[in-house]
Amino acid sequence: MDLSYDPPEQFRTALDPLHEIVRREVGSDDFGSDDYLPGLKVLLQSMDYDPHFSAQGRRAAWGQVIGALKGRAQAIKSMRDNPGFDARSICSPVVITGVPRTGTTALHRLMAVDGRFQGLQTWLIASPMPRPPIDTWATYPEFQKTAAVLEARYAAAPQKRAAHFMAAEELHECCMLLWQSFVSNLWSCGWTAPSYDAWWQCQSEAAAYRHYYRCVQLIGSRSPDRRWLLKNPGHIENLDLLFAVFPDARVIQTHRDPAKAVPSLVSLLMQLHPLMEQGRTAQRAQLMLAREVAKWAHAVDKCDRVRERHPGQVLDVVHADFHGEPMRTLERIYAFIGMDIPGDVRAALVQRIEEKPELKHGVHRYNIADYGMTEDEAREPFGDYVQRFDLVETRP
The list of the chain residues with pLDDT below 70 reads 1-3, 150, 153-166, 358-364, 394-396
How remote is the C-alpha of 213 from its chain's centroid? 15
Q: Please classify residue 340 by burial: count the beta carbons closer than 10 Å to its beta carbon, then call 0-12 exposed, 13-18 middle and 19+ buried.
A: exposed
CATH code, 92-186+209-388? 3.40.50.300
**Contact (Cβ atoms closer than 8 angstroms) between residue 293 and residue 381:** yes
Determine the Cα–Cα distance for residues 108 and 182; give it in Å rounded to an integer: 25
What sections of the chain are H helices per DSSP?
15-26, 37-49, 55-81, 104-111, 122-126, 141-156, 160-163, 175-178, 194-200, 206-219, 239-245, 258-270, 273-276, 281-307, 319-324, 326-337, 343-355, 375-379, 385-388
Structural contact between residues 234 and 209, judged by C-beta atoms closer than 8 angstroms: no
Amino acid at 387: Q
Q: What's the pLDDT score for residue 162?
A: 44
Task: Give the pLDDT confidence score for residue 163 in this predicted structure.
Answer: 43
Q: Which amino acid is at 55?
A: A
- Look at residue 227 in the predicted model and tell me its pLDDT: 98
- Residue 301 confidence (pLDDT): 97
Cβ-contact 158, 260 below 8 angstroms: no
**Structural domain boundaries in the chain:** 92-186+209-388
Please name the helix (run of DSSP H) or strand (run of DSSP E) that holds residue 117, with its range, or none: strand 117-118
- Residues whose CB falls within 8 Å of the CB of residue 212, separated by 6 or more in sequence, listed in order: 174, 177, 178, 181, 245
Strand partners, 277: 53
Strand partners, 121: 171
Q: Residue 97 pairs with which residues in a beta bridge? A: 253
Write down the pLDDT at residue 164: 42
Q: What is the pTM of this model?
A: 0.92
Closest C-alpha to 64, from 45, 43, 81, 92: 43
How many Cα atoms within 13 Å fall on the side-chain side of residue 162? 12
pLDDT of res. 284: 94
pLDDT at 356: 80
